[in-house]
Amino acid sequence: MANALRLGIAGLGTVGGGVLDVLQKNGATLALRAGIPVEVTAVSARNPSKKRTQDISKLAWFDDPVALAMSDGIDVLVELMGGEGDPARSAVEAALKSGKPVVTANKALLAHHGVALAKLAESKGVALAFEAAVAGGIPIVKTMREALAGNRTGKVFGILNGTCNYILTKMGDEQRSFSSVLAEAQELGYAEADPTFDVGGFDTAHKLALLTSLAFGTEVSLDDIDIEGIESITLEDIGNASDMGYMIKLLGVAVAHEEGIEQRVNPTLVPKGSPVADTSGVFNAVVVKGDFVGDLFLEGRGAGAHPTASAVVSDIVDVARGNLRPVFGIPAKDLRAYRRAPAKAHVGGYYIALELHDRPGEVAAIARILADEKISIASIVQRAPRSEQPRTTAPFILITHDTLELSMRAALQRIERDGHAASKPRMIRIERL
């Protein structure tokens, strides 16, 4: 290690190739910033014969990433395989047990096993760095762990999935359906063939779980996140929101309350003109509310080969400099057990879209149901039909005052059960930013 920092890269997909590009193009500058040359000496991937744009012919090849992690020919394991289980987990554990630092972009691994891996890394006195695991090229992990060390964080939220943001942006800008834009996103490589992990909100939840631990000093708790994706968002919802001065975004939100922590992923109406509303396309954005710094807003590319590789390389430089910090900002043994906050009144109210049967008394019946659940209506709008054809239903949009989500869901269940709605009601939170 006296002559160079030797990297072993496990995983040569999009991000792995991006890391090789960065090291090749900016190697000389990187050596000055790191204080030592940084070079890749060994790699591991599924297919050794796959055609790649980078030349890896002079690098040691390992079929087994665990063997790579334990090799004496590397000083640092860069894990870019992904997945919560093996081989990524075994490779990371092997490297840490061997006393090697690990740099990873694996949000799933850390969301499921981050605390145990952090304890292992800290017991061995080596780094487990994961800047690239959350929000791609945005330096949110270092910001929360280091730059905001003097603050108590009350809330962290943001757009953490570029695929969902791209779909919602295109639906609004081009008046196209969810299915149409999703198909385009798949053609462009923004969405997988099975897009459930992205559009279902699960990718956002993995990232939010890590931000929550950094923000509040609690153990990572993925299972305590309420998750709702964007599959049910319609063009009508986006148009209605726009008419009322809002845009719809998929947000990951974590809030500290006296009784515990609230974590949720859900589509949200955000005011037009706010920084989060203006974050479009595949970009991500994160807002951190600190008690001394106030609101901090970071925006950038949340995915892609080079933005994510940039974050990986920043962690490699930290390792080269000997910057060793607790994985989640405080020692893993001191992370508090996660305590879930009880249901609270949501500050901001709700947007409710109803397709009511067009007959006398339906609106009055809805008002009674909401009153029974102690829900106050801020406004109600009946939408004009989109065609001149005779209709047996009428679209209504409700905006509520602040209320419990449990009450809101109970009211919607009654509306549906009692046959007032011709289709399933749609509910979206309104967030005060």
- Catalogue all structural domains in the chain, each as residue range(s) with its CATH number: 5-133 (3.40.50.720), 140-301 (3.30.360.10), 345-430 (3.30.70.260)
Strand partners, 308: none
Place of tokens 């000083």: 75
Query: Is 207 one of the catalytic residues?
Result: yes
Query: What's the pLDDT at 298?
Result: 97
Distance CA 45, CA 32 (A): 30
Position 343 scores a pLDDT of 78
Total-model pTM: 0.93
Cα(62)–Cα(78) distance, rounded to whole angstroms? 14
pLDDT by residue, tens only, the chain of 433 residues: 458 999 999 999 999 999 999 999 999 999 999 999 999 999 999 988 888 889 898 999 999 999 999 999 999 999 999 999 999 999 999 999 999 999 999 999 999 999 999 999 999 999 999 999 999 999 999 999 999 999 999 999 999 999 999 999 999 999 999 999 999 999 988 888 899 999 999 999 999 999 999 999 999 999 999 999 999 999 999 999 999 899 999 999 999 999 999 999 999 999 999 999 999 999 999 999 999 999 999 999 988 899 999 999 999 999 999 999 999 999 999 999 999 998 777 788 999 999 988 888 888 999 999 999 999 999 888 876 555 555 688 889 999 999 988 899 999 999 999 999 888 999 999 987 7
pLDDT of 391 reads 67
At 193 the three-state DSSP class reads: coil
Whole-number pLDDT of residue 386 = 54
Q: Is residue 50 a contact partner of residue 17, using CB atoms and an 8 Å limit?
A: no
Rounded to whole angstroms, the Cα distance separating 103 from 375 reads 49
The per-residue pLDDT for 385 is 57
Which of 345, 113, 300, 341 shows the shortest CA–CA distance to 216? 341
Q: Are 268 and 431 in contact (CB under 8 A)?
A: yes
- Choosing from 100, 107, 170, 207, the catalytic residue is 207
Q: What is the DSSP secondary structure assignment for residue 131, as one 8-state letter?
A: G
pLDDT at residue 325, as a whole number: 94
pLDDT recorded at residue 365: 93
Tokens of 136: 């791609």
pLDDT of residue 200: 97
Q: What is the pLDDT of residue 1?
A: 43
